[in-house]
């Protein structure tokens, strides 16, 4: 059993209690994690608040903050194999993906390191002749960051990076379903040389999240997770009037027109829904395919899906690993059963594998005769693809927009004018054309509707961790007139 500690005010601590973390591939306990208490949360927020005002951080130049972030990025890159191993062990995400993703996480910190001294104010051409007026961008304060277990090093980078670049301090709650990589990340952060209290990392259940998001010294809550939890966070933020950024779930349409490059579209769809075992908020979980190519598309897709290598997540030849928790498997099976009962046709997959671990095979549901099947509107968060077909562009749009989510969409067509029409009209925060799941620190991402609000990544994310101060400077040497003298 490996043991991990929480990180509060620059010190590593055992929790007053702890819990075992299970390996999703074996269902066996492999690590012991500290379980934070509400009092731990309070100490972490107070440490972040002290650090925010302490001269070691508050008076540090933006360039110096950037150098610390560069150092952190280098440490992440140097320790990527260890971080990838821990994320794979704790969440079941395959080593091929965690290795590549964590190496790229370092680029997010490098991006925000370079951005730290480029967060600028503005001079206003004010309509008063004896006034100079300018705007200062100042850090918003203590940030509460809450991340789920899937891709947590990436999802924390798009919160920690811009928040620290802007000069904020952070208390991060790692998911209790797989916190090992974040608790290990705390050691790298400590090595980078940041002042104590600038970042605090702990883990625990709902009481930890509630205490954190309600705390009066929290100025902003950055959350990635599900809509139900987000509703609780929004209610909690009424106590402290904290601003929020919410990156939530998705039910993303993958739209394929009759002129699409079929092989490319099939490969992108396979990656878009079965990579990470479908445990991605941007998973292309709804295939919306032109009726004239539906049969050919499904034939290719199912043939490839049946050849996917399902295995141990730490094996380099594995293409689909286990789900993270047994609860996910139960949710997926129940939703498949409900959808079949409503007329969806199970093309392939659909049952948990009879082996140790939380394994589900790639699954395809044809919903052509089941427009009301729940699989078309509810998020699986697993390797399940729901299929519908269309005849006209307007019909494709109606299907694509027929959900309360609005995170991502894929469009496959060789018709440039059609692509532009679709880009304008599809309701999503991200649109990929003839590609899928591409990301970059330079480009923001986020959604609409039940997929949340706010953006992560890019320049805008850093600006969202600032507040604007207007400064007025009177330049006239003349005395200010007596306001009560009639003129």
Active centre residues (catalytic) = 247, 281
Q: Under 8 Å CB-to-CB from 356, ≥6 apart: which residues?
A: 25, 26, 27
CA pair distance 324, 452, nearest whole angstrom: 23
Q: Are 111 and 442 in contact (CB under 8 A)?
A: yes
Q: How many CB atoms lie within 10 A of CB 16?
A: 11
Query: Which class for 111: exposed (0-12), middle (13-18), buried (19 or more C-beta within 10 A)?
Result: buried
CA pair distance 151, 146, nearest whole angstrom: 13
Q: Under 8 Å CB-to-CB from 324, ≥6 apart: which residues?
A: 24, 91, 92, 93, 149, 150, 177, 178, 279, 358
Q: Are 274 and 362 in contact (CB under 8 A)?
A: yes
CA pair distance 90, 346, nearest whole angstrom: 31
β-sheet with 2-3: strand ranges across:
2-3, 28-35, 17-23
- Give, for 393, the enclosing helix (H) or strand (E): helix 393-400
CA pair distance 324, 149, nearest whole angstrom: 8
Q: Under 8 Å CB-to-CB from 482, ≥6 apart: which residues?
A: none
- Give, for 146, the enclosing helix (H) or strand (E): strand 142-146
Give the three-class secondary structure for 381: coil
β-sheet with 452-453: strand ranges across:
11-13, 6-8, 199-203, 169-174, 142-146, 218-224, 243-247, 452-453
Q: What is the largest CA-CA distance in the chain?
A: 92
Q: Are 304 and 79 in contact (CB under 8 A)?
A: no
Q: What's CA 40's distance to the chain center, in Å?
A: 25
DSSP string, 204-259: --HHHHHHHHH-TTEEEEEEES-HHHHHHHHHHHHHHT-EEEEE-----EEEE-TT
CA pair distance 86, 183, nearest whole angstrom: 10
Q: Are 257 and 287 in contact (CB under 8 A)?
A: no
What is the sign of the dihedral through the CA atoms of 190, 233, 252 and 358?
positive
CA pair distance 431, 408, nearest whole angstrom: 6
Q: Are 30 and 314 in contact (CB under 8 A)?
A: no
Q: How many CB atoms lie within 10 A of CB 99?
A: 18
């Amino acid at each position: 059993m490996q043991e991990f500690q929480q990180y509060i005010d620059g010190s590593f601590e055992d929790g007053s209690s702890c819990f075992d973390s299970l390996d999703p591939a074996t269902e066996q306990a492999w690590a012991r994690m500290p379980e934070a208490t509400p009092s731990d949360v309070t100490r972490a927020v107070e440490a972040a608040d002290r650090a925010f005002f302490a001269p070691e951080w508050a008076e540090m130049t933006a360039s110096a903050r950037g150098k610390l972030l560069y150092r952190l990025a280098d440490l992440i890159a140097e320790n990527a194999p260890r971080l990838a191993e821990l994320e794979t062990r704790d969440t079941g995400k395959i080593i091929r993906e965690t290795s590549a993703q964590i190496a790229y996480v370092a680029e997010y910190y490098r991006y925000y390191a370079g951005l730290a001294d480029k967060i600028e104010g503005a001079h206003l051409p004010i309509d008063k002749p004896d006034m100079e007026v300018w705007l200062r961008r100042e850090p918003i304060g203590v940030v509460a960051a809450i991340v789920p277990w899937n891709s947590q090093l990436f999802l924390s980078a798009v919160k920690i990076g811009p928040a620290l670049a802007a000069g904020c301090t952070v208390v991060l709650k790692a998911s209790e379903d797989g916190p090992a990589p974040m608790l290990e990340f705390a050691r790298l952060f400590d090595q980078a040389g940041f002042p104590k209290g600038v970042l605090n990392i702990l883990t625990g259940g709902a009481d930890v999240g509630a205490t954190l998001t309600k705390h009066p010294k929290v100025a902003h809550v950055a959350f990635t997770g599900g809509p139900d939890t987000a509703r609780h966070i929004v209610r909690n933020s009424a106590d402290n009037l904290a601003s929020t950024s919410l990156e939530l779930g998705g039910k993303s349409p993958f739209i394929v027109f009759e002129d699409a490059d079929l092989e490319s579209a099939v490969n992108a769809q396979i990656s878009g829904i079965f990579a990470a075992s479908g445990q991605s908020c941007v998973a292309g979980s709804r295939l919306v395919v032109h009726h004239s190519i539906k049969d050919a598309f499904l034939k290719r897709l199912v043939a490839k899906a049946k050849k996917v290598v399902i295995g141990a997540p730490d094996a380099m030849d594995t293409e689909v690993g286990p789900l993270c928790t047994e609860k996910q498997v139960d949710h997926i099976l129940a939703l498949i059963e409900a959808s079949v009962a409503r007329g969806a046709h199970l093309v392939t997959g659909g049952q948990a594998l009879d082996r140790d671990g939380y394994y589900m095979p790639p699954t395809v549901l044809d919903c052509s005769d089941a427009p009301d099947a729940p699989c078309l509107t509810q998020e699986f968060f697993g390797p399940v693809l729901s299929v519908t077909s269309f005849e006209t562009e307007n019909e494709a749009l109606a299907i694509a927009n027929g959900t309360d989510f609005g995170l991502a969409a894929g469009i496959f067509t060789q018709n440039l004018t059609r692509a532009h029409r679709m880009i304008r009209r599809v309701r999503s925060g991200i649109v990929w054309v003839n590609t899928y799941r591409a990301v970059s620190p330079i480009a923001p991402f986020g959604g609409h509707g039940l997929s949340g609000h706010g953006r992560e990544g890019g320049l805008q994310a850093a600006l969202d961790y600032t507040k604007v101060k207007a400064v007025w400077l009177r330049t006239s040497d003349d005395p200010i007139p007596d306001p009560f003298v009639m003129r």
